Structure 1
Amino acid sequence: MRRAPAGACRLLALAACVAVAASVPKHPPLPADIYPFITLVANKELPLCTGALVAPRAVLTAASCAKAKPSFAFVGAHNFFLDSFRREGKYEIQKVERVEVHPDFDSSDLNQHNLALLVLKRSVVGHHPVSLAGANFTHPVKSAAVRALGFGSLSADGFFPQLHADELTLLPEEECGGLQTAYGRWWAATPANAAAGHEACTGLSHAFRACAAGNVGAPLLLPRGAPDGGPLQLGLLTSGFACSTDPAVASASSPALYTWLPRYTEWIGKQLRQVAEEDAEARKKWAAGRQ
């Protein structure tokens, strides 16, 4: 594993304080190395959110995370305080070269078109990207069992150093629209927006807090949904319905809202093709220089 950049070292030192202050999970810890694509996104000082490796040089996360100017991607992270001591060589720290935000994203509404691709400076070589649901993947008619995982706080709105997950219920589109209406997002549940199907909802979870900043961008997975029997990423977390900066209003748990990735297959594919073309051109120049 490459030596951690100085900024990443400061992040790990800061994480020690977070680890001491964080509450202990009430559910069994998630085993290391079973989700090698999971990524902790950070800037030079702080952890920011969660993402997923979707190509050797690309991490998919929320656009709302990109405004904090992410600098590093900890690919294969499990505990951002202990990994450097216990899992040397099991994760990779990569610098972020640029951020591609979906062109329709508006920071005044974090629940619409909230996705971004972090293009890394170098390719990740030791971790396999997660499979993404394609455009033909249909939203389940009935409730389905899914899993979400991230680095969000277990008891507050910030971060927890160890990756954790919960089994959730993916709600049918009609129920998702009903939730949006119930929580005041009536405009999102109109026929035009509902037909667009850009969002998905999961039910309540007390173990995976939709309002925690560290869980933003967290992948929503269908276990064994990929052709190879691995997990299939269906969405990424944008927020919880009951989130608020007012402690008298915020809920300890909340139904969660996700960007529904099958609706963004074309945009994601375009970005990944561009990265692949850049890599091919770089290899071509490297080969020419050796002649």
Structure 2
Amino acid sequence: MDNAAFFASLWDDYIAIAPQSARIHALFAADNATVINDHVAFRTFDTGPLCLSRLEPRLFDLGYRRHAPYAFPDKHLSAWGYASSDPDAPLIFLSELHVSALSTVAQDILTPLLASLDPALAETPAVFSAGRVWPAISYSDYRTLAAESEYAGWLAALGLHANHFTVAVHRLRTPTTIEDVLERVRAAGFAINDAGGEIKGTPAELLEQAATLADRQPVAFAGGEMHVVPTCYYEFARRYPDVDGRLYQGFVAASASRIFESTHRNPRG
């Protein structure tokens, strides 16, 4: 699978579970010849054959390299950012949840799921849009997990997907500021993640970010129960050049931590 096919497959999977993202993309495609994707992000568990160290070789196969590590101790997460030598290729952000940091109750829900996985799943880049590759959990278990870790509940219910794509605001013809981007998105009726403020980061940090709240779609749980839960969101990023004139290629952990909250069931400001 080449890079173009990889990202096209990710996009198709992403808008299938977050259809509002296609409508948001259209807001900018209307007056921009190309809407550049700044980065995509993935979530996984640190236990079993789909942990970060087993998944990232597929990114290396696509020409990516590790750029910088990130830690989110309050959310029991760690992550790496990945960059490509192709300046037009999206950055990638891959995070994993430290299962052993969760309660015994949460571990008892997750351990059987992860034990059921086929190690061969991680042998192809298609794994990144494979969805839920373990048996459906009960809605009660989903709520138990999400009450402790929204990330755990989301991942257990939905599986592997790009949880967001990102408009590269610095590559748009118009609008050119995060503020104007959000005004357009809000005017179209989409809710914005305001955890820690609508705009996370500053020009001094070389990265400004904002995001919608996740779409909400019906998801199948054990026993055939269907419940509407948060799925994926759309992000907006404006990058700035460093003192050497190079566009910043990293992420800001404090900002990313609040962006994670776009998929919370009950977002807070």
Question: TM (normalized to structure 1)?
Answer: 0.29
Larger radius of gyration: 1
Structure with larger RCO (C-alpha < 8 A, sep 6+): 2
Question: TM (normalized to structure 2)?
Answer: 0.31
